[in-house]
Amino acid sequence: MRALYLSNRFFWLFGGLVGLFALSFPFPLLYPLAQAAFGIGLAIVAVDIALLFGRKPKLVCSRDLNPVFSLSDPNPVSLRVHNTSALRLRVELVDELPVQFQRRDFEEQLLLAPGESTLIQYELRPVSRGVYQFGDILLFAASRLGLVERRIICPQPQEVAVYPSIVQMKRYELRAMRHIAHETGIKKMRRIGHSYEFEQIKNYVQGDDYRSINWKASSRRNVLMVNQYEDERSQQVYCIVDKSRVMRMPFEGLSLMDYAINTSLAISNIILKKQDKAGLLTFSDVMGATLKAERSSGQLTHILEALYREKERPVEANYELLYEAVRRLVGLRSLLLLFTNFESSYALERALPLLRRLNRFHLLVVVFFENTEIRALANEDVKRTADIYRQTVARQFLQEKKEMVYKLRQYGIQAILTKPQDLTLNTINKYLELKSRGLI
């Protein structure tokens, strides 16, 4: 591939010289002037070529990025360009981004003095998991004359793996552990009753619950003593992710399955921080990942790797298969967080008998999604008669979703109907609520 490119300035100069030759035909006295101008123009172009190629201006460029990208989050990328030549260069930089971003317009214009370095920073937001391949960095350098450009290729092939959102996991971990109730909705749950493990007997201080006073210990020591409790630990919590076609629907570029995967990672991290056991099941027409609930140091890494490898399948979900797998793999009573989606009451009715059987042996929470686009359609202003019909159908659809929640709760099944962007928040709140009520 050629490394010499002609710039716009060259074509302006060439056009001017051609015009001068055209004017010299009716006026022979101008012909020597046109010849001289053409020779000077060629000399200038030759000088510009000699500056760029004779001295071999050196441009050094490198790309710095994290070895792992976080799904659906802005990931920083840094490019450093250093001019090691003695020329002042105008540089156009083109970075070959991974094909998944579908961007062919990334370029930066730079002006570098001799020995000068500059840093370019930008962000990329991936919306699918997998391996992303960066290509080379192309530099188009021009001197002050700017008649020609020299292409310099900086080989920088790099692979980066896009994993479920680690950034989101860390963010919600901090908020949940600090009980920040006033920021983006993480709730601090009040304890109800004493369905917690006994920890110790301590001296009564103002503010302690007087119902926890241990009268026998108080009489022996002649001071008020109270029982102190702590949350029950080592309880099993499983995230169950539906990989069937109903989870392929995209919202803001991200599929429902990827929303569920990000949430599974975030809630698994909090489960382990709360000293409970986290496990994972994925299913469609066949079973996918099956990780038994553990509290080991490497459990979160195993969950992250398993979620990274999962792919959607264009088939219907097999709830009979899920029921058999849960009965076979999950022995003790556990909390099951099922991430799925029901677009009609008929779909729920088909799965309801098996969901009820699962709820008989475990505490089942069914998490499914509200269609935000239909919500927006139901709330938009009506201008024509056709808009009334569309709005009526949209509101019927939303009401049908609410009726699904009522039906699940009627059979004692916990249910969460949430917007995709609020999925992690609502799931964490439900987990904290169930623990505070002593239901798990």
CA–CA gap between residue 28 and residue 33 (Å, rounded): 10
pLDDT at 216 exceeding the cut of 90: no
317, amino acid identity: A
Do 351 and 263 share a domain, yes or no? Answer: yes
Range of 215's domain?
Answer: 204-230
Cα 291 to its chain centre, rounded Å, is 23
Can you give the pLDDT at residue 325?
Answer: 94
Contacts of 272 (CB under 8 A, 6+ apart): 278, 295, 299, 300
Do 150 and 26 share a domain, yes or no? Answer: no
Can you give the pLDDT at residue 102?
Answer: 85
| Residue 195 domain-assigned (yes or no) | no
* Full-model pTM: 0.78
Do 300 and 406 share a domain, yes or no? Answer: yes
How many domains does the chain fold into?
4
- CATH classification at residue 367: 3.40.50.410
Do 143 and 275 share a domain, yes or no? Answer: no
% of the chain exceeding 70 in pLDDT: 84
CA–CA gap between residue 331 and residue 27 (Å, rounded): 102
| Residue 318 domain-assigned (yes or no) | yes
Do 417 and 326 share a domain, yes or no? Answer: yes
Do 172 and 250 share a domain, yes or no? Answer: yes
CA–CA gap between residue 22 and residue 112 (Å, rounded): 39
CA–CA gap between residue 209 and residue 281 (Å, rounded): 40
CA–CA gap between residue 65 and residue 62 (Å, rounded): 10
Do 272 and 324 share a domain, yes or no? Answer: yes
Do 256 and 372 share a domain, yes or no? Answer: yes
Which own/partner contact pairs does 149-153 have at CB distance under 8 Å and 24+ positions apart? 149/4, 149/5, 149/6, 149/7, 149/52, 149/92, 150/3, 150/4, 150/5, 150/52, 150/53, 150/57, 151/1, 151/2, 151/3, 151/4, 151/5, 152/3, 152/59
Do 181 and 313 share a domain, yes or no? Answer: yes
Contacts of 6 (CB under 8 A, 6+ apart): 147, 148, 149
Can you give the pLDDT at residue 165?
Answer: 92
Average pLDDT, the chain: 84
Can you give the pLDDT at residue 99?
Answer: 92
At 125-173, the pLDDT tens digits run: 999 999 999 999 999 888 877 777 888 889 999 999 999 998 889 888 8
At 60-84, the pLDDT tens digits run: 899 999 989 999 999 999 999 999 8
Contacts of 412 (CB under 8 A, 6+ apart): 359
Backbone angles phi, psi at 243, to 5 degrees: -105, 10
At 33-56, the pLDDT tens digits run: 666 766 777 777 777 777 777 766
Do 335 and 347 share a domain, yes or no? Answer: yes
| Residue 197 domain-assigned (yes or no) | no
At 345-400, the pLDDT tens digits run: 999 999 999 999 999 999 999 999 998 888 877 787 877 877 777 888 888 888 99
- Locate tokens 């001019």: which residue? 83
Closest CA to 212 of 199, 437, 220: 199
* Strand-strand pairing, 335-339 and 363-369: parallel
Can you give the pLDDT at residue 180?
Answer: 41
| Residue 346 domain-assigned (yes or no) | yes
Do 318 and 409 share a domain, yes or no? Answer: yes
| Residue 87 domain-assigned (yes or no) | yes
- CATH classification at residue 67: 2.60.40.10
| Residue 196 domain-assigned (yes or no) | no
Cα 300 to its chain centre, rounded Å, is 18
Do 349 and 371 share a domain, yes or no? Answer: yes
Contacts of 323 (CB under 8 A, 6+ apart): 354, 357, 358
CA angle centred on 100, ends 96 and 106, rounded to 5°: 35
Contact 337, 427 (CB under 8 A): yes
| Residue 199 domain-assigned (yes or no) | no
Burial of residue 247, with CB atoms counted within 10 A of its CB: 0-12 exposed, 13-18 middle, 19 or more buried: buried
| Residue 49 domain-assigned (yes or no) | yes
